[in-house]
Amino acid sequence: MTALVLVEHDNAVVKDATLATVSAAAKLGDVNLLVAGAGCAAVADEAAKIAGVGTVYLADDAAYGHALAENVAPLIVKLMESHDAFVAPATSNGKNIAPRVAALLDVAQISDILSVESADTFTRPIYAGNAIATVQSSDAKKVITVRGTAFDKAEKGSGSGKVEAVSADGDTGLSSFVGAEISKSERPELTSAKIIVSGGRALQNGENFEQIIVPLADKLGAGVGASRAAVDAGFVPNDYQVGQTGKIVAPEVYIAVGISGAIQHLAGMKDSKVIIAINKDEDAPIFQVADVGLVGDLFKIVPELTSKL
């Protein structure tokens, strides 16, 4: 079986989400990669050095520069003539492109897999991660998205894949790129941060969030997350949101500050290695998943903790 993996990148470097996807694809068989972008030759060279990779198909064309699904999907469908599975990270990009590929191939997509049981059988979370379904696909070609936190990252630097240029129809004229507002931060990106400090509704407003959560995160070199309640109330932008409808994270340490632990929040962080919860309500559900719990007022505990670090 040969799998084609969609490389997640920004036309400059390979994003980490690719590495877990390669590990998942390797469980199916041989792995080839697709780098579709504009001015992205360096990405293909970097991708070719990922351990276990065969061919890296490089589609370098202005039409692929913003990864519009309408342009990239036909390219993938063409490459799927010689592949048995298309495997993409379950990122915004992968989740945008994979369904279109599945529809064009007329197969059912298998989303957000947690494990590869065999060539046609996978596990995936359902009910916000409260149950794990085992799904078997009878489609001849598989279209799969991968939950990055469920697989080890493939090693970078030791591979010896070969880069091969490919082309397809380019701009299909079905969509066009208007603009992007990318938030810039010096902090580690949430999905790859080793430590995350997240704040909830209890912070009360954006100023408190900035004064209580951010200094602790800065001291720890941590990423900053938030519950949906904190995002909906406008304390922080919505790309901070962790949970079922936010980002799925699994850092070494997750510190939940003034977050109750609703199942939709737990769905995004319960695979973290060590969970530390700070909450004034000793019955808060977050303590059921926490390895370390501090019961008390966050407005006292967190500044004290930050000052002692």
Size of the site for ligand FAD (CB under 6 A): 28
293 binds ligand FAD (CB under 6 A): no
Question: DSSP secondary structure string, 32-61?
Answer: EEEEEESS-HHHHHHHTTBTTEEEEEEEE-
Dihedral sign, Cα of residue 90, residue 95, residue 97, residue 102? positive
Q: Rule CB under 6 A: is residue 224 a binding residue for ligand FAD?
A: no
| Residue with Cβ nearer ligand FAD (26 or 259) | 259
105 vs 267, beta carbon nearer ligand FAD: 267
Q: What six digits make up the tokens of 243?
A: 């949970």
> Contact with ligand FAD (CB under 6 A): which of 129, 148, 246, 293?
246
| Member of 144, 298, 305, 306 binding ligand FAD (CB under 6 A) | 298
Q: Which amino acid is at 81?
A: E
**Nearest partner of 242 among 285, 200, 212, judged by Cα:** 200
Which DSSP symbol is given to 221? T
Query: Residue 186 or residue 283: which is nearer to ligand FAD going by CB?
Result: 283
| 31 C-beta neighbours (distance < 10 Å), count | 28
Between 94 and 258, name the residue whose CB sits nearer to ligand FAD: 258
Closest approach of Cβ 23 to ligand FAD, in Å? 26
Q: What DSSP element (H or E) covers 184?
A: none
144, 105 in Cβ contact below 8 A? Answer: no
Q: Give residue number: closest CB to ligand FAD.
A: 243
Short-list 265, 260, 304, CA closest to 285: 260
Distance, C-alpha 26 to centroid of its chain: 18
Calpha distance 203→212 (Å, rounded): 8
Q: Is 167 in the site for ligand FAD (CB under 6 A)?
A: no
Residue choice 23, 91, 145, 244 for contact with ligand FAD (CB under 6 A): 244
279 binds ligand FAD (CB under 6 A): yes
- Binding to ligand FAD (CB under 6 A): which residues in 177-216? 200-202
The answer to whether residue 262 forms part of the interface with ligand FAD (CB under 6 A) is yes
Summarize as ranges the residues that interact with ligand FAD (CB under 6 A): 200-202, 227-230, 241-246, 258-260, 262, 264-265, 268, 278-281, 284, 297-299
